[in-house]
């Protein structure tokens, strides 16, 4: 076979294969949508099925990525979103949403219910809610409010903070539910003896339901990206939806065009196009993922290798401007000076008593509440960071990561004496540790990143492969 045609066909095949992989994900994530409320300050049903929602009292707020007006806030008193009476798929079905709950220990916090919201005596439909103790609960009802008319699946202790989380449930059949928090199947126990899911003519709501005895429960927090499917999503699809709110669809038609062009070009052009196709593998994927961790060992094993700074080698009072080994530097604090070494003495972390504080000018009003802002050194790529909250106050130190454009990638928080870490699929440019925590004089310890790497290694590898291929073709021609 002619070598020119053979190589062009190869490039065409690569483009078509990549196109097929991307297109399969694009088709599956929208297949079966009954309703999709993005809640970007309106109740439009983005599924195209016309199941538009109506707001009552809710106001726009920032979403899990810090994007303004991309989620809706509920006051916990009388706010709700009416989703109408038409979103009632039979089992199997899936409910997926993002939520932030201000009081995880509330007796009952309703998230989603698609029937008979205003009845404590009769209950129909499917429901997703939380209760005190950090319990996440998925329920189906079929009539009168008795144990014999309902099925619950309860997973305990899975929602205990005030951060944003993704929650989803697949109602596969009677006593066959899968409950997920942040993309993880959290298991759970079944309650009740009902026979399945039933519907009446009642309407559904987000953030409100009436419980037995006539009392009403309301969401005190925020909600975003609510989806209802008339099928049970796969684990991979749930993982995708948990990666970030409003997961976009990939655009991949350009790959087919690239493959076609390779058929028409000479060998040198085809070599360049191979590089373009390889680069397109990363640009045609879904939106960035941001995974959070509460266990240091799990985080280290996931992102290894890592670099640690425990601050024990620094003198008390030293101001830190840069940690070269970690690939980061620190901006000037709002009240002046840089983060400094503070000898806490209580040994609240595994890494000793010296911590990085936000009050170099002393425990006074000068730096109180100042954020510690960490920036990634130029020419360096970091995608993971971990830290311990060395404060003795009963508070959670929250770190928010941003990319080079200033877009928030996600947040993670460490309670006093605990670890928190993240892993992002997008390179991190800046991390902000919220100074508005506890008494405002904060300190962190055991700061870690994955080993910093130059930002262009993948491009160099692709360029090297292209040059190698070209040299081989030239030698053959000679």
Q: For residue range 121-137, what is the model confidence (pLDDT) as tens digits?
A: 678 899 999 998 889 99
- Asked if residue 380 is part of any domain, the answer here is yes
* Residue-by-residue DSSP string for 332-360: PPTTSS--EEEE--S--STT-SEEEES-T
Indicate if 104 and 159 belong to the same structural domain: yes
How many other C-beta atoms are found inside a 10 Å radius of the C-beta of residue 375? 17
- In this prediction, residue 118 carries a pLDDT of 66
105 or 28, higher pLDDT = 105
403 or 142, higher pLDDT = 403
Distance CA 455, CA 415 (A): 33
Alpha carbon distances (Å) from 119 to 107, 139, 148: 18, 15, 17
Alpha carbon distances (Å) from 224 to 108, 188, 227: 19, 24, 9
By CB atoms closer than 10 A (0-12, 13-18, 19+), residue 392 is: middle
- Asked if residue 459 is part of any domain, the answer here is no
- Asked if residue 478 is part of any domain, the answer here is no
Does the CA dihedral 9-11-17-19 come out positive or negative? negative
Indicate if 144 and 261 belong to the same structural domain: no
Average pLDDT on 40-46 reads: 89
Please report, for the domain that includes residue 156, its CATH number: 2.60.120.200
* Cα–Cα nearest to 413, from 385, 440, 441: 385
Indicate if 88 and 226 belong to the same structural domain: yes
How far from the centroid of its chain's Cα atoms is residue 15's Cα? Answer: 30
How far from the centroid of its chain's Cα atoms is residue 467's Cα? Answer: 39
pLDDT at 95 over 90: yes
Domain stops at, among 248, 283, 318: 283
Q: For residue range 357-378, what is the model confidence (pLDDT) as tens digits?
A: 999 999 888 998 899 999 999 9
- Asked if residue 246 is part of any domain, the answer here is no
Indicate if 401 and 317 belong to the same structural domain: yes
Contact 152, 179 (CB under 8 A): no
Indicate if 129 and 189 belong to the same structural domain: yes
Q: What are phi and psi of 149, to 5 degrees?
A: -120, 20
Q: How confident is the model at residue 254 (pLDDT cuts 50, 70, 90)?
A: very low
Spell out the residues 6+ positions from residue 63 whose beta carbon is closer than 8 angstroms to its own.
70, 71, 98, 164, 224, 225, 245, 246
Indicate if 84 and 221 belong to the same structural domain: yes
Indicate if 17 and 41 belong to the same structural domain: no
- Asked if residue 247 is part of any domain, the answer here is no
Per cent of the chain over pLDDT 70 is: 77
How many other C-beta atoms are found inside a 10 Å radius of the C-beta of residue 30? 14
C-alpha angle 353/373/368, rounded to 5°? Answer: 65
Contact 234, 240 (CB under 8 A): no
* Cα–Cα nearest to 219, from 209, 211, 207, 210: 207
By CB atoms closer than 10 A (0-12, 13-18, 19+), residue 255 is: buried
Indicate if 62 and 144 belong to the same structural domain: yes
The total of structural domains in the chain comes to: 3
DSSP state of 46: T
Helix (H, G, I), strand (E, B) or coil at 177: strand
Indicate if 219 and 302 belong to the same structural domain: no
Spell out the residues 6+ positions from residue 304 whose beta carbon is closer than 8 angstroms to its own.
450
- Asked if residue 328 is part of any domain, the answer here is yes
Domain stops at, among 265, 283, 301: 283
- In this prediction, residue 74 carries a pLDDT of 97
Q: For residue range 259-312, what is the model confidence (pLDDT) as tens digits?
A: 443 433 333 343 333 344 333 333 333 345 888 898 999 999 999 999 999 999
Distance CA 113, CA 431 (A): 37
By CB atoms closer than 10 A (0-12, 13-18, 19+), residue 107 is: exposed
Strands of the sheet with 322-323, listed across from one edge: 322-323, 328-330, 372-376, 430-433, 396-402, 408-415
Indicate if 76 and 211 belong to the same structural domain: yes
Please name the helix (run of DSSP H) or strand (run of DSSP E) that holds residue 153, with its range, or none: strand 150-155
Distance CA 428, CA 439 (A): 28
Indicate if 294 and 278 belong to the same structural domain: no
Average pLDDT on 469-477 reads: 40
Residue 17 structural domain: 3-24+256-283
Average pLDDT on 99-123 reads: 86
pLDDT at 83 over 50: yes
Q: For residue range 150-200, what is the model confidence (pLDDT) as tens digits?
A: 898 999 988 989 999 999 999 999 899 999 999 999 999 999 888 889 998
Q: For residue range 311-364, what is the model confidence (pLDDT) as tens digits?
A: 999 999 999 999 999 999 999 999 999 999 999 877 789 999 999 999 999 988
Contact 102, 73 (CB under 8 A): no
- In this prediction, residue 460 carries a pLDDT of 42
- In this prediction, residue 296 carries a pLDDT of 95
Q: For residue range 405-416, what is the model confidence (pLDDT) as tens digits?
A: 888 888 888 888
- In this prediction, residue 461 carries a pLDDT of 42
Q: What are phi and psi of 361, to 5 degrees?
A: -95, 15
- In this prediction, residue 250 carries a pLDDT of 44
Q: How confident is the model at residue 251 (pLDDT cuts 50, 70, 90)?
A: very low
- Asked if residue 241 is part of any domain, the answer here is no
By CB atoms closer than 10 A (0-12, 13-18, 19+), residue 60 is: middle
The pTM score is: 0.52
pLDDT at 17 over 60: no
Count of positions (residues) in the chain: 478
- Asked if residue 91 is part of any domain, the answer here is yes
Indicate if 268 and 387 belong to the same structural domain: no
Spell out the residues 6+ positions from residue 158 whose beta carbon is closer than 8 angstroms to its own.
134, 135, 136, 181, 186
Please report, for the domain that includes residue 328, its CATH number: 2.60.120
- In this prediction, residue 116 carries a pLDDT of 80
Torsion of the alpha carbons at 43, 409, 446 and 378, rounded to the nearest 10: -160
Domain stops at, among 247, 266, 283: 283
How far from the centroid of its chain's Cα atoms is residue 328's Cα? Answer: 24
């Amino acid at each position: 076979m002619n070598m020119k045609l053979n190589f062009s066909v190869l490039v065409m095949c690569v483009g078509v294969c990549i196109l097929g992989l991307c297109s399969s994900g694009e088709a599956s994530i929208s297949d079966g949508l009954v309703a999709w409320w993005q809640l970007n300050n309106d109740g439009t049903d983005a599924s195209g099925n016309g199941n538009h929602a109506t707001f009552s009292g809710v106001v726009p707020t920032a979403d899990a990525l810090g994007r303004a007006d991309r989620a809706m806030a509920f006051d916990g008193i009388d706010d709700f979103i009416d989703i109408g009476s038409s979103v009632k798929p039979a089992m199997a079905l899936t409910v997926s949403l993002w939520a932030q709950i201000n009081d995880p220990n509330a007796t009952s916090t309703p998230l989603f219910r698609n029937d008979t919201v205003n009845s404590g005596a009769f209950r129909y439909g499917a429901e997703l809610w939380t209760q005190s103790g950090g319990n996440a609960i998925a329920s189906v009802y079929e009539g009168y409010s008795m144990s014999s008319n309902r099925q619950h699946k309860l997973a305990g202790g899975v929602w205990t903070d005030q951060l944003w989380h993704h929650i989803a449930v697949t109602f596969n059949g009677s006593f066959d539910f899968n409950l997920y928090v942040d993309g993880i199947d959290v298991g759970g126990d079944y309650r009740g003896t009902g026979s399945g899911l039933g519907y009446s003519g009642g309407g559904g709501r987000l953030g409100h339901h009436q419980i037995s005895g006539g009392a009403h429960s309301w969401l005190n927090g925020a909600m975003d990206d609510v989806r209802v499917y008339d099928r049970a999503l796969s684990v991979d699809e749930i993982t995708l939806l948990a990666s970030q709110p409003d997961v976009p669809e990939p655009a991949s038609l350009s790959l087919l065009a690239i493959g076609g062009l390779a058929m028409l070009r000479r060998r040198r052009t085809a070599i360049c196009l191979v590089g373009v196709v390889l680069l397109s593998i990363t640009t045609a994927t879904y939106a960035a993922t941001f995974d959070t961790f509460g266990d240091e060992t799990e985080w280290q094993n996931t992102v290894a290798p890592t670099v640690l700074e425990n601050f024990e080698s620094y003198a008390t009072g030293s101001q830190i401007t840069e940690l070269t080994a970690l690939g980061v530097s620190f901006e000037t604090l709002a009240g002046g000076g840089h983060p400094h070494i503070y000898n806490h003495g209580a040994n609240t972390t595994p890494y000793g008593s010296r911590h990085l504080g936000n009050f170099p000018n002393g425990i006074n009003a000068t730096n109180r509440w100042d954020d510690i802002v960490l920036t990634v050194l130029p020419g360096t790529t970091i995608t993971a960071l971990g830290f311990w909250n060395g404060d003795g106050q009963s508070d959670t130190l929250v770190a928010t990561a941003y990319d080079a454009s200033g877009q928030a990638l996600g947040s993670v928080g460490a309670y006093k004496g605990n670890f928190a870490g993240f892993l992002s699929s997008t390179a991190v440019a800046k991390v902000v540790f919220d100074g508005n925590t506890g008494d405002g004089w904060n300190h962190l310890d055991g700061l870690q990143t994955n080993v910093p790497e130059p930002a262009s290694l993948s491009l160099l590898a692709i360029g090297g492969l292209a040059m190698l291929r070209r040299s081989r073709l030239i030698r053959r021609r000679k």
